[in-house]
Amino acid sequence: MDTREGMTTEHPENAAAFVANDARLKWHDESLWFVRQKRDRATSVIPEWETLRALGADIKAHTLSRLADYLEEFEQKATALGAHVHFARDAEEHNRIVHGLLARANVTRVVKSKSMLTEQCGLNHYLEAHGIEVIDTDLGERIVQLRHEPPSHIVMPAIHLKKEEIGDLFHDTMGAASGTSDPKVLTEVARGRLRGNLLAAQAGITGVNFAIAETGGVVVCTNEGNADLGTSIPPLHIACMGIEKVIPRAKDLGVFLRLLARSATGQPVTAYSSHFHGPRPGGELHIVIVDHGRSAILGREHYRRTLQCIRCGACMNTCPVYRRSGGHSYGVTVPGPLGAVLAPHIDPKKHRSLPFASTLCGSCSDVCPVQIDLHQQLLLWRGELGHAELIPLRKRAASQLAGWVLARTWAYEFLGRIARWILPKLPKALLRANDWGRQRELPPAPKESFRELYRRRRGQ
Amino acid sequence: MIDIALFIPCYVDQFYPKVGLATLELLERYGARVDYPQAQTCCGQPVFNSGSFDAAKPIADKFLEVFSSYQYIVCPSGSCTSMVRNHYAELVPDRIAELRSKTFELCEFLHDVLGAKPEGRFAHRVGLHASCHGLRELRLASGSERRVQPFDKVRSLLSGLEGIEFADLSRGDECCGFGGTFAVGEEAVSVAMGNGRIADHERGGAEIITGGDMSCLMHLDGLLRRQKKPIRVMHVAEILAEATGGHGHT
Ligand code: SF4
């Protein structure tokens, strides 16, 4: 969870820069809202949707309650199928293991299907620094890779870009005719290029959506079939997953496949759900299971539920703040409400503004297919940051003062009266120089407060 | 007779006394004995949501001291009600049960406890702003994210009024962007969200934007007045009090 180049770690500043481009703001908001509506339609035809969510949440909560056992079972079963299972404590170890496997097989060209975990671990940079070429095969992922920037969304990595911008990019990098902005044409151009990359690849890296303890198999969901292509040509397949991806039984998979695609894109199911049960004949399958801070979250009762996440991205699509500030404004691999509760675990000081990048509207909690109480967690983080004195001093002092006043009726009444008396007398310029008044009028300042009116009415 | 303690949020007390009065009148009109405990100040939400849980604790203690002895506590704000009902558990965990069962948001109280069916005339086209905490923390309506039997307590209270029309919104329950200190801490996004909401209500032809939380309305009103737009804001209590005044009730 690195901080992005050129971005501060303060969400309000990054967000203001995004908001400043009104056209992009509107279009970004509308594109994601469109996906949210598609999700609404897709879930409305499932009468048991809420039951399904509860079931998904229960299965995940159960799995987390005995995660070590299920991981062990998974390791045994996967090994029995002929896969090699590796455990990595953190990003560094994960990258080292993957590189080791590639180096051993003399691999210099790798294709990767979208994986937020490897993104989080900075795998591409690591491999490139070791002289290995990595090509992302997911179209959106390839686009941001060519632009040398991180994904702005976990499911739709290039959602922040307009098709014209992608046309320009493809003109510069892939020889597309200048001025092309037809998505179909652009996709064809990219496809042509990717075909070459796929044929030349010596290894394929994929993420993992679900790892089944009972069978030892892993499942990867894509819409472009790139996980299959990337693993069926080269003989070496490396699948990278976080420890929380395991589910107990094969029959649990159906619950999550139904929840995932509908929540992510409003599709009944992803176009490809690829199952890998052991290596293909003559090939090698390595599964790298990464902790990277997850077991620390597991140990924290309040926050444990975030590990139930199936990375559908619905919380981002629904989040009114994400839609209007863009994924890059969060400065971390996983943006939005989910990212805002995950990032502070890694570095609370650096990401202290993220739990405040929310109105606590609660839409994320209600949309989440596995019932993670995201907005509650944001609130808890605020308390924790306050407790650790990681909130800017000015803000903390203001809260302390307000707390003191509000606990004392006389002080509250006295200051209220002064505020109502002074506000109308203040020069306009002053009122318009602060963050409330710059774009909004202040509320009216009535002569009498409610309690004064009440006293008068009751003749007190 | 039902005994009610009015809980008037601090900013309503100071800036929107008429909303307090409308609430009082409305409840009295339904035959309740209403008291306004004058030692009250605030639920502590602004301090709590800013991350200063320790500074919010004495405010919660005070709230308990002021309100504990009453049969019901009724508040014309979903957000402040939710603070007491859902978040005081963080601050006063051992005393939360008694508060939880008797603290109500105004519309919820009218709808669930009194079974009120307000009658009267309010011949305007209103845009209903579903405030997030009322919607998703108090469940005053079903919410567009969840697949449950649709319901909307605020709307059903208002829909009995003669002549009232509702603006059709393309995003029925999207957040207005107020969010307490969010409104200043994230000014840019907050204003963008507020303007988005206003545009939706304008498209729907609303003359008045109403809702159960004056704080959201204060934010929208601030934008409306700065941009000199003709839409007004009114708290639901004001509409109900105005419409039902002199008409009696059921
Ligand atoms: S937190 Fe929930 S909504 Fe967000 S990505 Fe994870 S599963 Fe999806």
HEC assignment per residue over B152-185? EHHHHHHCCCECCEECCCCCCCCCCCCCCCHHHH
Find chain A residues with C-beta within 8 A of B129's C-beta: none
Tokens 């690195």 map to which residue?
A2
pLDDT band at A1 (very low <50, low <70, confident <90, very high): very low
Q: Kindly state whether A435 is in contact with chain B, defined as any CB-CB distance less than 8 angstroms.
A: yes
- Single-letter code of the amino acid located at B103: T
Find chain A residues with C-beta within 8 A of B194's C-beta: 440
User: CB distance A325–B189 less than 8 Å?
Assistant: yes
Three-state secondary structure call for residue A183: helix
Residues A124, A118 contacting (CB under 8 angstroms): yes
Residue B133: name the closest of A366, A37, A305 by CA: A366
What residues contact A213, with CB distance under 8 A and at least 6 apart? A70, A71, A73, A74, A77, A246, A247, A248, A249
Whose alpha carbon is nearest atom 4 of ligand 1?
Answer: A315
- Minimal C-alpha gap between B79 and chain A (Å): 10
Find chain A residues with C-beta within 8 A of B56's C-beta: 403
Which of the residue ranges A63-67, A221-225, B201-205 would you say has the lowest mean pLDDT? A221-225
For residue A55 and ligand 1, the question of a CB distance below 6 A is answered with no
Q: What is the arithmetic mean of pLDDT over A64-68?
A: 98
For residue A342 and ligand 1, the question of a CB distance below 6 A is answered with no
Whose alpha carbon is nearest atom 8 of ligand 1?
Answer: A312
pLDDT band at A114 (very low <50, low <70, confident <90, very high): confident
Which of the residue ranges A12-21, A205-214, A227-236, A373-382 would you say has the lowest mean pLDDT? A227-236
The CA–CA distances, whole Å, from A236 to A103, A111, A193, A226, A290 equal 12, 11, 21, 15, 19
User: CB distance B186–A407 less than 8 Å?
Assistant: no
Whose alpha carbon is nearest atom 3 of ligand 1?
Answer: A368
Alpha helices, DSSP H only, in B30-92? 45-49, 53-67, 78-82, 88-91
How buried is residue A153: exposed, middle or buried, by Cβ count under 10 Å (0-12/13-18/19+)?
A: buried
> Looking at residue A460, what is its pLDDT?
67
> Looking at residue B171, what is its pLDDT?
98
CA of A315 to the centre of ligand 1 (A): 5
CA distance linking residue A422 with residue A406, whole number of Å: 19
Atom of ligand 1 nearest to the CA of A336: 4
Q: Kindly state whether A29 is in contact with chain B, defined as any CB-CB distance less than 8 angstroms.
A: yes
Task: Determine how β-strand A210-212 pairs with β-strand A217-222.
Answer: antiparallel
Q: What is the arithmetic mean of pLDDT over A360-369?
A: 98
Q: What is the arithmetic mean of pLDDT over B121-129?
A: 98
> Looking at residue A8, what is its pLDDT?
65
What residues contact A300, with CB distance under 8 A and at least 6 apart? none
Token pair for residue A316?
């981002």
Please tell me what DSSP assigns to residue A135.
E
Could you report the predicted ipTM of this complex, rounded to two decimals?
0.96
- Minimal C-alpha gap between B118 and chain A (Å): 24
Dihedral angle of Cα A104, A106, A112, A116, to the nearest 10 degrees: 40
- Minimal C-alpha gap between A353 and chain B (Å): 10
Task: Determine how β-strand B103-105 pairs with β-strand B72-75.
Answer: parallel
For A414, list phi and psi in degrees, rounded to 5.
Answer: -65, -50
What residues contact B98, with CB distance under 8 A and at least 6 apart? B68
Instruction: Give pLDDT tens digits for B36-82.
Output: 999 999 999 999 999 999 999 999 999 999 999 999 999 999 999 99
Instruction: Give pLDDT tens digits for A406-436.
Output: 999 999 999 999 999 999 999 999 999 999 9
Mean pLDDT of chain B: 96
Please tell me what DSSP assigns to residue A251.
G
Residue A345: name the closest of A380, A370, A376 by CA: A380
Find chain B residues with C-beta within 8 A of A408's C-beta: 41
Q: What is the arithmetic mean of pLDDT over A47-68?
A: 98
pLDDT band at B247 (very low <50, low <70, confident <90, very high): very low
- Residue A274's H or E segment, with its range, is strand A272-276
Tokens 């975030």 map to which residue?
A306
**Closest chain B residue to the Cα of A441, Cα to Cα:** B222
For residue A314 and ligand 1, the question of a CB distance below 6 A is answered with yes
Residues A294, A307 contacting (CB under 8 angstroms): yes
Q: Which pairs from B227-231 meet CB under 8 Å and 24+ separation?
A: B229/B198, B229/B202, B231/B127, B231/B198, B231/B201, B231/B202, B231/B206, B231/B207
CA of A260 to the centre of ligand 1 (A): 9
Residues forming a β-bridge with B165: B125
Say yes or no to pLDDT of A7 above 90. Answer: no
Instruction: Give pLDDT tens digits for A366-405.
Output: 999 999 999 999 999 999 999 999 999 999 999 999 999 9
- Greatest Cα pair distance, chain B, in angstroms, is 49
Instruction: Give pLDDT tens digits for A291-344.
Output: 999 999 999 999 999 999 999 999 999 999 999 999 999 999 999 999 999 999
Tokens 């008396």 map to which residue?
A421
CA distance linking residue B109 with residue B73, whole number of Å: 9
Say yes or no to pLDDT of B23 above 60. Answer: yes
Q: What is the arithmetic mean of pLDDT over B83-94?
A: 95
- Helix axis angle, A183-200 to A139-146, nearest 10°: 90
> Looking at residue B248, what is its pLDDT?
41
Please report the DSSP string for A412-452 in residue order.
HHHHHHHHHHHGGGS-HHHHTTSTTTTTSPPPP--SS-HHH
Quick count: other Cβ atoms within 10 Å of Cβ A327? 28
Find chain B residues with C-beta within 8 A of A40's C-beta: 144-145
pLDDT band at B249 (very low <50, low <70, confident <90, very high): very low
What residues contact A186, with CB distance under 8 A and at least 6 apart? A163, A166, A167, A170, A176, A180
Atom of ligand 1 nearest to the CA of A313: 5
Say yes or no to pLDDT of A267 above 50. Answer: yes
What residues contact A158, with CB distance under 8 A and at least 6 apart? A139, A140, A141, A143, A144, A151, A152, A166
- Minimal C-alpha gap between B231 and chain A (Å): 14
Atom of ligand 1 nearest to the CA of A311: 5
pLDDT band at B246 (very low <50, low <70, confident <90, very high): low
CA distance linking residue A141 with residue A155, whole number of Å: 9
> Looking at residue A44, what is its pLDDT?
97
